[in-house]
Amino acid sequence: MPGISVVPTPSSTGGNKTVSISIRDFAPSDTASLLDIQRTAPQAAQWQAADYENLSREPGGLILMAQSGGAGAIIGFLAARVMGEEAELYNLAVAEAHRRKGVSKGLVREFHRRLIAAGVMGVSCEVRPSNTPALNLYVGFGYERSGVRRHYYANDGEDALVLWRDLRAAGAI
């Protein structure tokens, strides 16, 4: 798949940097890099290697990997499942050094592009109310709050906001 040039968002230090990434499907050899990124993202679901490997083999399982440049280091991932006309985004994380540079936007944009091409009508996800960067990302893509799962997160009892995006509406990509 050709590389995708990502337009950056301002970093917390005020700098803007363009990050050139390519997005491709997960391969089992990506597992260690994916887990390294996940460990640096406490807001992300903390899955085991087998969870990702199983998802990648399941019907409808989708894991996208973001690499810097053409075939550079893995700098982010998105894990999801497609179930007929709906999809659920399970996990999304970016390496700490590459956050706030548009990598998450590139992953979500490619995810939406693939879902629309497959005829998927909508996508949902759960997000911690305290995860402001993720909420801003999803709201920027037109996700809307559709519910709350009380005391959803086992490690601290925080609620989960359930977000929904109708992919048939304008602006999904």
Per-residue pLDDT of the chain (173 residues; tens, 9 = 90+): 334 434 333 444 445 566 789 999 999 999 999 999 999 998 899 999 999 999 999 999 999 999 997 678 999 999 999 999 999 999 999 999 999 999 999 999 999 999 999 999 999 999 999 999 999 999 999 999 999 999 998 888 899 999 999 999 877 77
Domain boundaries, the chain: 3-166
User: Please, what is the Cα angle at 36 between 159 and 115, to 5 degrees?
Assistant: 60
End-to-end Cα spacing for the chain? 17
Q: What is the pTM of this model?
A: 0.87
Distance CA 112, CA 171 (A): 10
Whether 142 and 171 have beta carbons less than 8 Å apart is answered as yes
Which CATH number does 3-166 carry? 3.40.630.30
Strands laid side by side in the 61-68 sheet:
3-6, 19-25, 61-68, 74-83, 86-94, 122-127, 160-166, 144-149
